[in-house]
Amino acid sequence: MMKRIKVKELLSSPDVGKNVLVKGWVRTKRGSRNIVFIALNDGSTINNVQIVAETSYIDENLLRDITTGACIAVSGKLIKSPGQEQNVEIKAEKIDLYGKSDAETYPLQKKGHSMEFLREHAHLRFRTNTFGAVFRIRHAMAFAIHKYFNDKGFYYLHTPVITGSDAEGAGEMFRVTTLDLQNLPKNNNGEIDYNNDFFGKETKLTVSGQLEGELGALALGEIYTFGPTFRAENSNTPRHLAEFWMIEPEMAFYDIKDNMDLAEDFVKYLIRYALENSRDDLVFLNKMIDNGLIDKLKFVLENEFARNTYTEAVEILTAADRKWEYPVGWGRDLQAEHERYLVEEHFKRPVIITDYPKEIKAFYMKQNDDGKTVKAMDVLFPAIGEIIGGSQREENYEKLYNRIKELNIPEKDLWWYLETRKFGTAPHSGFGLGFERMIQFVTGMSNIRDVIPFPRTPKNAEF
């Protein structure tokens, strides 16, 4: 038995004259009764390999059954191609048909399906050039993230998905329960009695691994998490998912400046990695999805991010000759339109905004001496808006405790978090990168639903 060779390997160092075995899915078939040309893709690369099948070698009925979408194994000789389109092709000597694909009902017959149509066929969209490219790049980015942190001596920490605390304090959490929803146990006050629930307490899906990440950083030094996070926010936008992946580094002894430097270095590393390792896929996306993609990636690499305080950003937005849909004013949160104005029109490059009003940020951020702002940092990107959110953390026990009380956060949910500030507290910082937003930027895909294999959004959990 000959060993299967992947198309990527076959095309990158073609061994002309050799017998090869390839396996994959038919993208197109054309030709005449006697000679058929098949473009075969096996997912290893965006490029197809051309199979030439002649009826003198391959049964005519078999060839008729090989239609778009079918899965085949082909063995034959690798030869120089007389055609202009490709260097080499395989002259088929034997074809096995693993799976037919009914020409009448296969959904991906024609080119140019809409993104919406492909989303409804998410089980098959991997087989298109665009989604093949996107998901190969998604893999490359995941790998690069682990490589980046491993090379820097950070430890990958697995934080829990099921939790009793609300890390962001925004109350946008999905419940986790095994209670019978038709027949909920109640206590004497008429409230749901979670003593009878699986964990003996109320539990939710986590919105962030940060709080547990901090516990790790305050002993291991530098850690990162990389896992799924969940937000039950009813946001139907091209940048929000109910289930998304987040990378959250957390570092002891970093102040907010060190935190910003790491964030900038990290995203630039990922972009450089993509340019160096996902070339064919990026060239394709640059041609088909966003003509400015590769220039945009290089531009981010070549320019320092702007760094401004929230107060400066509000001044810029107030002075802007613009009618805003959402009002601008000190104390109000920045909306996507404001973020995009700052990045795309004012600074014309990525921007890091720091020192936000404490009221619009989470309880754990380090309080500034002005009593009004906290050491928050958001990294804003062109087309995406906020791609990273982070901060220096409040390491002072009293200040943190008072803030938790002020916000009426139950102490019983966070006693363990508070204890780290009692025993050997240390200045520390961290941030969260939204993985899908990063993939959107690197691929040029405009909708976040198209950079995760199976998106979860309000009213949609198909597949």
Per CB under 6 A, residues contacting ligand 4AD are 167-168, 208, 210, 231, 240-241, 244, 246, 248, 386-391, 430-432, 434, 436-437
The encoded tokens of residue 218 equal 């305050």
58 or 241: CB nearest Mg ion: 241
The answer to whether the CB of 431 falls within 8 A of the CB of 248 is: yes
DSSP 345-402: IIISS-EEEEEEEGGGS-TTBPBPTTSSEEEEEEEEETTTEEEEEEEEB---HHHHHH
H or E element in which residue 285 lies = helix 279-288
Comparing CB distances to ligand 4AD, the nearer of 93 and 258 is: 258
Strand-pair category, 162-163 with 175-176: unpaired
Nearer to ligand 4AD, 227 or 389 (CB): 389
* Residue 8: closest CA among 28, 24, 19: 24
Q: How many C-beta atoms surround the C-beta of residue 411 within 10 A?
A: 11
Which residue number has the CB closest to Mg ion? Answer: 389
- Gap between the Cα atoms of 357 and 334, Å rounded: 11
List Cα–Cα distances, 265 to 139, 140, 227, 304, 429, in angstroms: 20, 17, 21, 10, 15
Q: Is the dihedral of CA 136, 142, 147, 152 positive or negative?
A: positive
Given the complex with Mg ion, which of 209 and 389 has the nearer CB atom? 389
Closer CB to ligand 4AD, residue 239 or residue 296?
239
Stretch that binds Mg ion, among 19-27, 48-56, 125-133, 385-393 (CB under 5 A): 385-393
To the nearest whole angstrom, how small is the minimum distance from the Cβ of residue 176 to ligand 4AD? 18
* 448, 440 contact by CB (below 8 A): yes
Cβ 350 to ligand 4AD, closest distance in Å? 13
136 binds, among ligand 4AD, Mg ion, none (CB under 5 to 8 A by kind): none
* Smallest separation (angstroms) from ligand 4AD to the CB of 132: 23
Residues contacting Mg ion: total by CB under 5 A: 1
Residue 301 or 360: the one with the smaller Cβ distance to Mg ion is 360
CB of 213 to ligand 4AD, least distance (A): 7
Binding partner of residue 388 among ligand 4AD, Mg ion, none, CB cut-off 5 to 8 Å per kind: ligand 4AD
Contact by Cβ (8 Å): 155, 186: no
Cα gap 214→221, rounded to integer Å: 9
Question: Interaction with Mg ion in 433-462: which residues (CB under 5 A)?
Answer: none
- Quick check: helix, strand or coil at residue 164? coil
User: Of 14-22, 209-217, 233-241, 389-397, which segment contacts Mg ion by CB under 5 A?
Assistant: 389-397
Token pair listed for 446: 């405009």
Residue 385 touches Mg ion, criterion: CB under 5 A:
no
Which CB atom, from 90 or from 374, has the smaller least distance to ligand 4AD? Answer: 374
Binds 430: which of ligand 4AD, Mg ion, none (CB < 5-8 Å by kind): ligand 4AD
Q: For Mg ion, which residue of 389, 390, 430, 434 counts as binding (CB under 5 A)?
A: 389
Based on CB atoms, which residue is closest to ligand 4AD, 69 or 390? 390
Cα 294 from chain centroid (whole Å): 19
Please report how close the Cβ of residue 127 comes to ligand 4AD at its closest, in angstroms.
26
The least CB distance from residue 303 to Mg ion, in Å, is 23
**CA–CA gap between residue 262 and residue 428 (Å, rounded):** 13
CB of 157 to ligand 4AD, least distance (A): 12
Q: Which is nearer to ligand 4AD, 317 or 380 (CB)?
A: 380
Residue 460, H or E segment: none
Query: What is d(CA 258, CA 392) in angstroms, rounded to the nearest whole number?
Result: 9
Q: Tell the smallest beta-carbon distance from residue 385 to ligand 4AD (Å).
A: 9
Give the residues lining the site for Mg ion (CB under 5 A): 389
